[in-house]
Chains A and B, each alone.
Chain A
Amino acid sequence: MSAFVSFKNVTKRFETLTAVDNVSLDIEKGEVFSLLGPSGCGKTTLLRMLAGLETPDSGRVILDGQDITNLPPNLRRVHTIFQNYALFPHMTVWDNIAFPLRVARYPKQEIARRVKGILELIRLGDHDYKYPSQISGGQKQRVAIARALVDQPQVLLLDEPLAALDLKLRQHMLLELDLIHDKVGITFLYVTHDQGEAMSLSDRIAVMNNGRIEQIDPPAKIYEAPRSSFVAAFIGDTNFLQGHVTSISHDYCNLAIVGLTSSVKSYNDKAIRAGSMVHLSVRPEKIHIAKTPPEFKDDLADKINLFSGVVEDIVYQGSHTKYWVKVGAHRIVTNMPHMRFQLDQEEITWGDSVALWWHADDAFMLEQFHATDAALIDPPAQYEEDVEIFRGTGNEP
């Protein structure tokens, strides 16, 4: 099956900077596909090449079987929602939405019918006579969506569309975008640096860094099974552990971890052989914390990694509390949700000796590791020493 949108070995340079570096990517019809990455990772450039606002230096862009690499933007049935909305300030809401129909010379009645229909979809029927300066940010956003959808493009491109809105409105607009996608069913290409937006909206996410794609997978897989240390650190919070395999038993291997005295057991999905170097990512919510650990039954005890440490920092975050615990040479971060009943009913405070444990299935082996990615973990300053531990040990190019 051939994809609806394809980037084939696309490269784009701006003077000395390589914004997009030999990227290949397939997007299916009707999919919500996100490009996620830090600013400057090339995600917007990739989007602009699909819109026709940039031309790749090499590689092809294919839309619905047609090579559109050198097609001017007005001949592509692809519309963009810009970060600043780019509504035309000298036109009313109605005229803004009618713009794509007018330049395509649709008949007058058809324009009126379509604009009216889409105004109902975005629930702005009463505001059609207003100018962009007279409506709120959320309304502007909806007008921009309506304007981009009114002549039924093949792909809708969204370039950080929610970045200018406040948190509540952002969550609201996310739901609205999801609803609109369900109604119109066209392909969405969504560019964002916000993992929350990408996670909640997308069918698949491509995580980008330095002009390259690190991983393309559905949101859950991106989070639970990150391929590289960059993906693990950029999306959510994590702990990195590094060591080598000492022994293998069935699907599990024992690891000697740098900076930890006792060995760590981990599920071995990569079929890694004894003696080889591995990097683990352990999400904070998979790590349990208590003053005294519970009793584990025999078969479970075999797969539990239990450590003791000293609490260094505590951040209360409402739904959960974050603890930084010094274990050996590491600072392990763990999240504990607030429940009425806890295994340990004593409150944990600074300087307490605590037990940490996680199940061998809950750590994930990374295929690629770069020491500098440890600095991405929030808050980076506290991880400088961790970066030091890893420096020169990762498989950096």
Chain B
Amino acid sequence: MKRSLLPIVILIIVLVFLYLPIVVLSLNSFNASRFSGTWDGFTLKWYSTLMQDRTIWQALVNSLIIATFATIGSCIIGTTAALALNRWQTRLQTLHNALIYTPLVVPEILMGMSLLLLFTALKIDCGRHTILLAHITFCVSFVAMTVLARLQDFDTSLIEAGRDLGATAFQAFIKIQLPLLMPGIIAGGLLAFTLSVDDFVITFFVSGPGSTTLPLRVYSMIKHSRQMPVINALSTLLLAVTFLAVIASRLLQIKRVSRSHPFISTTIGGTNK
């Protein structure tokens, strides 16, 4: 039977659509020309400029510090919120659910402005701590949603079994519920980390002197210093790191599967009588 070419054509179009801009960006980071339209030959000078630009690295460090603490903070608050929402199924729960859900759909600009107004009203000087608070605020919703989804099909008889076998309520939580919720918490945490590193609009409103994050720095570089090729180089590096992370996580998954493989084969082989 003649195979249709259509799926392949669609695949190629999608790939081009997704990855062509990235390829252009990466190529331009090695372009000797300051302007992306012309190719003046291969160069690494933008990379060396990037390495020497301390403000970029300071911005990256800021971003990573904020993202790390925002992730930890939102994981703790989001998980406890999800547990509470799941446990006390009162009539108010629908309202609580809506309140948790709202930050996901509120326009960022609104949230940024309201947070700025709040901080000004409370006479809090803006800086890394205000960015951190703002990030935790919107990340909590994401963590709470993923953990809630995990809790929805959680088998409560496991907790009962733990209590029945002699565990205190705390032991049952630490040894049974928490490990089983971990995939949800990690997924929420990864989401929180990505969103925090990525966020521009809210950060823009609540940032202060010395608290420039990477997205803010990149934006100001485009706006004010016309350092496009350096930004290209930075983006290419970030892209490389992202790809390496994706590949590493893939490899880890494959390793885990192959480690469990012997069990699977003995089960299928029926030697477990």
Residues of A in contact with B (beta carbons under 8 Å apart): 51-53, 72-74, 78-80, 82, 84, 86, 88-90, 99-100, 103-104, 127, 129-131, 134-136, 139, 147-148, 151
A82: chain B residues at CB < 8 Å are 157, 160-161
Known: A80-B161, A134-B267. A104 touches B166 (CB 8 A): yes
- On chain B, the residues within 8 Å of A52 by CB distance are 163-164
Query: Which residue of chain A lies nearest to B158 when distances are taken between CB atoms in the complex?
Result: A86
Q: Is the CB of A99 within 8 A of B160?
A: no
**Chain B residues near A100 (CB-CB < 8 A):** 165-166
When A80-B164, A99-B162, A99-B175 are in contact, do A134 and B155 touch as well, CB less than 8 Å?
no
A89 surroundings in chain B (CB, below 8 A)? 158, 180
Instruction: Say whether A88 contacts B263, CB under 8 Å.
Output: no
Can you report 9 A-B residue pairs in the complex whose CB atoms are below 8 A from each other?
A51-B164, A53-B163, A72-B168, A73-B160, A80-B164, A99-B165, A100-B165, A131-B263, A148-B165
Q: List B contacts of A78 (CB < 8 A).
A: 164
A-B residue pairs, 7 tightest by C-beta: A86-B161, A100-B165, A103-B167, A73-B163, A86-B157, A134-B263, A90-B179
A131 to B259, CA, bound (A): 13
Contact in complex: A72, B163 (CB < 8 Å): yes
In the complex, chain A residues whose CB is within 8 Å of the CB of B180: 89-90
A127–B272 CB distance below 8 A:
yes
Which A residues are CB-close (under 8 A) to B158?
86, 88-89
Least Cβ–Cβ distance between A347 and chain B, in angstroms: 44
Judged by a CB distance under 8 angstroms, whether B113 is at the interface is: no
Nearest-Cβ distance from residue B45 to partner chain A, whole angstroms: 52
Asked whether B160 lies within 8 Å of A53 as measured between CB atoms, the reply is yes
Contact B166 A74 (CB under 8 A): yes
* Known interface pairs A103-B167, A103-B175, A139-B272; A86-B160 also in contact (CB < 8 Å): yes
Closest to A151 in B: B166
Tell me how far the C-beta of B173 lies from the nearest C-beta in chain A, rounded to whole angstroms: 12
Q: Roughly how many angstroms separate A316 CA and B157 CA in the complex, as a whole number?
A: 42
Who on chain A is nearest to B271 by CB?
A126
Within the complex, the shortest CB–CB distance from B218 to chain A, in Å, comes to 41
Q: Which residues of A contact B263 (CB under 8 A)?
A: 129-131, 134
Q: Interface extent on B, as a size class?
A: 20 to 34
B29 to A: closest C-beta gap in Å: 44
Smallest Cβ-Cβ distance to A48: which chain B residue: B160
Task: Please indicate the chain B residues that have their CB under 8 angstroms from the CB of A129 in the complex.
Answer: 263
Which residues in B have their C-beta under 8 angstroms from that of A135? 267, 272
Contacts A53-B163, A99-B175, A103-B171 given; does A84 touch B264 at CB 8 Å: no
B145-182 at interface with A (beta carbon < 8 Å) = 155, 157-158, 160-168, 171, 175-176, 179-180
Bound complex: CA A281 to CA B231 (Å): 92
Residues in chain B within 8 A of chain A (CB atoms): 155, 157-158, 160-168, 171, 175-176, 179-180, 260, 263-264, 267, 272
A390 to B118, alpha carbons, bound, how many Å? 78
Query: Smallest distance from the beta carbon of B82 to chain A beta carbons, Å?
Result: 19
- Are B155 and A84 in contact, CB atoms less than 8 angstroms apart? yes
Chain B residues with Cβ under 8 A from A73's Cβ? 160, 163-164
Across the interface, which residues of A come within 8 angstroms of B166, CB to CB? 74, 100, 103-104, 151
Contact residues in A for B260 (Cβ distance below 8 Å): 134
User: Nearest-CB distance from B266 to chain A (Å)?
Assistant: 8
Assembled-state Cα–Cα distance A79/B164 (Å): 6
Task: For A78, give the chain B residue with the smallest CB separation.
Answer: B164
When distances are taken between beta carbons in the complex, the residues of chain A under 8 Å from B264 are 134
Q: How far is the CB of A48 from chain B (nearest CB, A)?
A: 8
- Shortest Cβ distance from residue B46 to the other chain A in the assembled complex, whole angstroms: 48
Residue from A52, A80, A135 having most chain B Cβ neighbours under 10 A: A80
Smallest CB–CB gap between A190 and chain B, Å?
Answer: 16
- Chain B residues with Cβ below 8 Å from A51 are 164
- A127 cross-chain contacts in B, Cβ below 8 A: 272
* Distance, CA A86 to CA B165, complexed state (A): 11
Which residues of the other chain, B, contact A131 by a CB distance below 8 angstroms?
Answer: 263
Q: Are B176 and A88 in contact (CB under 8 A)?
A: yes
CA distance A53 to B156 in the complex (A): 12
List chain A residues, Cβ under 8 A from B165.
74, 79, 99-100, 103, 147-148
Chain B min CB distance to A135 (Å): 7
Docked-complex contact B171 and A53, CB < 8 angstroms = no
Cα distance A134–B271 when bound, in Å?
A: 12
User: Chain A nearest CB: distance from B149 CB in Å?
Assistant: 17
Cβ contacts under 8 Å, B175 to chain A: 99, 103
Bound-state CA distance A331–B158 (Å) is 49
Most buried by B among A52, A90, A104, A130: A90
Query: Are A136 and B160 in contact, CB atoms less than 8 angstroms apart?
Result: no
Within the complex, the shortest CB–CB distance from A393 to chain B, in Å, comes to 45
Chain A nearest CB from B38 CB (Å) reads 58
> Residue of A at shortest CB range from B157?
A86
- 5 new A-B contacts, CB < 8 A, other than A73-B163, A79-B164, A82-B160, are A53-B164, A72-B168, A82-B157, A103-B162, A136-B267
- How many Å from the CB of A281 to the closest CB on chain B? 38
Smallest CB-CB separation from B160: which chain A residue?
A53
Cα-based distance from A80 to B162 in the complex (angstroms): 10
Q: Is the CB of B272 within 8 A of A136?
A: yes
Residues from chain B with Cβ under 8 Å of A148 in the complex: 165
Contacts of A53 in B (CB 8 A): 160, 163-164
Separation of A84 and B168 alpha carbons in the complex (Å): 22
Q: Which residue of B lies closest to A135 (CB)?
A: B272
Residues of B within 8 Å of A103, CB to CB, are 162, 165-168, 171, 175
Distance between A158 CB and nearest chain B CB, rounded to angstroms: 12
Chain B minimum-CB-distance residue to A99: B165
